[in-house]
Amino acid sequence: MEVSTLASIELVLASDGTAESIDDLTTLFDLVLLVVDANNATTTSRALQVYANLDRVMGDADVNLDLVVVGASGSDAVQVAGEFSARGRVFEDPDGSVADRLGVHSAPTLLWITPASEERARLEGWQPDQWRPVIADLAAKLAWTRPLIPAPTDPAPFRAVPFLPPPDEEAETNKDDGS
């Protein structure tokens, strides 16, 4: 993705509605975003489990570990984030437009964005063999402890899943299809 395009994308904090551009969020530190789907509790809870382990090791490093919740806003997005909302920023994306501008069409997806607002890595799903070298590279860049991947409490590997429609919308779609 072009740097100027990525830098101009605005993320909205679920807690208070404040908007911040990726350029602002990466002024000093790298930004690692985990994009999750509020309408897919299974993949979201598994992804948050992995992210919590990453946060335990790298949470005090000079990096922003944040969450984008697609399909929810405000307190609903914070609720999806669970315990993570006390440690990192939670951004809302109720209609999926932010994910679309980021080029993310499935969850979970991890994006590493540098202070130059350049995408350094993109990981879809939870595949420890793919995450390990990327997170090792991030830890080396930050001169920080490299987290164990997978950690003993991490879930089994799983693929990213396309964003699901909200439950009400899904029921309407099935009605229209005659299902």
170 vs 24 pLDDT, higher one:
24
Domain of residue 29: give its range: 3-177
Tokens of 134: 């990327």
pLDDT computed for residue 167 by the predictor? 77
Q: What are 107-164's pLDDT values in tens digits?
A: 999 999 999 999 999 999 999 999 999 999 999 999 999 899 999 999 999 999 999 9
We report the CATH number of the domain holding residue 135 as 3.40.30.10
- 64: phi > 0 → left, psi -120 to 50 → alpha, else beta; which? beta
Specify the pTM: 0.90
Q: What are 29-83's pLDDT values in tens digits?
A: 999 999 999 999 999 999 999 999 899 888 899 999 999 999 999 999 999 999 9
Domain count, the chain: 1
Q: What are 87-107's pLDDT values in tens digits?
A: 899 999 999 999 999 999 999
Q: Please give the order of strands across the beta sheet that includes 30-37.
A: 19-21, 10-13, 90-93, 63-70, 30-37, 109-113, 119-124
